[in-house]
Amino acid sequence: MSDVTAPAAAPLDEVMLAMDVVDTLRHQQGLAVRELDTDAKEQQLIDKLRGIYRQQGIEVPDAILREGVAALAQSRFTYDPPAPGFGRTLARLYVGRKRWGRPVGVVLLALLALGVGYFGVWQPYQRGQAEQARVELAEGLPAQMDALYQTIFEETKVQQGVIDAEAIRTRGKTLAAEGNRAGAEKALADLTALRDRIRQDYTLRIVNRQGERSGFWTFPEINTDATNYYLVVEALDGDGNALSLPILNEENGETETVSVWGVRVSEAVYDAVVADKQDDGIIENNEIGRKSFGFLDVEYNVPVSGGAVTRW
C-alpha cells in the first residue's frame, strides 16, 4: 500500500475568496490590463488588490491574492458560452422542454390522429367504395341487364318486345364497358320500364262521371282550318283501379305520367260517342281498347289516329 497521500483540497472559503479576487479584477479590468501591459510585477498587482480589500475592511492572504491573479490569467472562473451549433440548439430545446413540450405534444397527437384517420380509415374506405363501384359497373349492371332481357324474352308475346330489349341491352353494356355509369343506369331503367310495360294488363275506357268531360275538340295551332277530336279515357286494371301511365302529348312533344288523357279519334267516332251519351246520359260502349299481358300496345276497338294530349 502506497505511503503517498493525495493533496488536501483547498478549503471552500479559500476557493470563494479566490473567485472574489477574480471578480474584483474583472470589475477593475483597466487596472489588470494596465499592469499587464506594462509588464509590472505580479507583486505590484497583489499590493494594489490588498489595498482595495483593506479599504473594505477585509484582510486577504497573499496566497489567495496570487491564486486569484493566476486564475484570472488562466480564465479558470470564466464561463465561455458554447459556440452556436446543432448540439447547442438541442441542449436549449431540452432545457426549455416544459415550456414548449405540452403544446408540441398536443399538435403531434392531433397530427397522429389525423394521419391514422386519413391513411388508416378514410383512404381504405374510399378505395373500397371505388372498387365496389367499378365491380358494379363492370359486372353488376350488365348482369341485371341480362336478367331483365331474359324476363322480357320469356314474357313478351310480340317480336318487337325482344328487338327493343336487345337494342337497349346492347347499348347499356357498351356504355358500362366505357365507364359511363349514368348511361348504363339509364339503359337499365329503360329495360325495367319495358318489362313493366309488357306486364301491364288493363282496359281503356271513356270517362263517364258527373262533372267531367267525356270528349272535346280543338283547332290545332299549325292548321286552324282543321279540327281534332278527342275522347277522354283512363286505364283500369282488373280490380277497377285507375293506372297512371306515361303519355306523349302530341301538342308539345312532352311525356307526362297521367291517369286521364285524351285519345284523338275520327269525327265519326266522336259523334257516335256523343250520341250514345245524349241518349240516356250513359255511354254504353265505353271500352275503346285493351292492353293485354305480354303485348306492348293497346288493341283498340275503334279507329284512332295514335295521337294523344295530356292537357285541355
Kind and range of the H or E run holding 174: helix 159-177
SS3 299: strand
pLDDT in tens, 3-58: 444 444 445 466 676 667 666 666 665 454 444 444 455 677 777 777 777 777 77
For residue 15, the model assigns a pLDDT of 62
pLDDT in tens, 124-162: 777 777 778 777 888 999 999 999 999 999 999 999 999
Provide the strand spans (E) within 13-161.
none
For residue 35, the model assigns a pLDDT of 46
The gap from C-alpha 126 to its chain's centroid, in whole angstroms, comes to: 9
Give the separation between CA 300 and CA 272, rounded to whole angstroms. 16
Give the separation between CA 214 and CA 285, rounded to whole angstroms. 12
**Is the predicted pLDDT of residue 224 greater than 80, yes or no?**
no
* Mean pLDDT, rounded, for 272-298: 93
Name the band, by pLDDT with cuts 50, 70 and 90, for residue 76.
Answer: low
Query: Could you tell me which residues come within 8 angstroms of residue 229 by beta carbon, excluding any fewer than 6 positions away?
Result: 215, 217, 264, 265, 266, 267, 269, 270
Helix 62-74 and helix 42-55, axial crossing angle in degrees, nearest 10: 120
Question: pTM score > 0.75 for this model?
Answer: no
97 vs 41: which has the higher pLDDT: 97
**Is the predicted pLDDT of residue 269 greater than 70, yes or no?**
yes
Query: Could you tell me which residues come within 8 angstroms of residue 286 by beta carbon, excluding any fewer than 6 positions away?
Result: 205, 206, 208
DSSP labels for 111-144? Answer: HHHHHIIIIIIIHHHHHHHHHHHHHIIIIIHHHH
- β-pair partners for 290: 203, 299
Grid look-up 308539345 returns 252
Give the separation between CA 26 and CA 71, rounded to whole angstroms. 11
13 vs 118: which has the higher pLDDT: 118
**Rg of the Cα trace of the chain?**
54
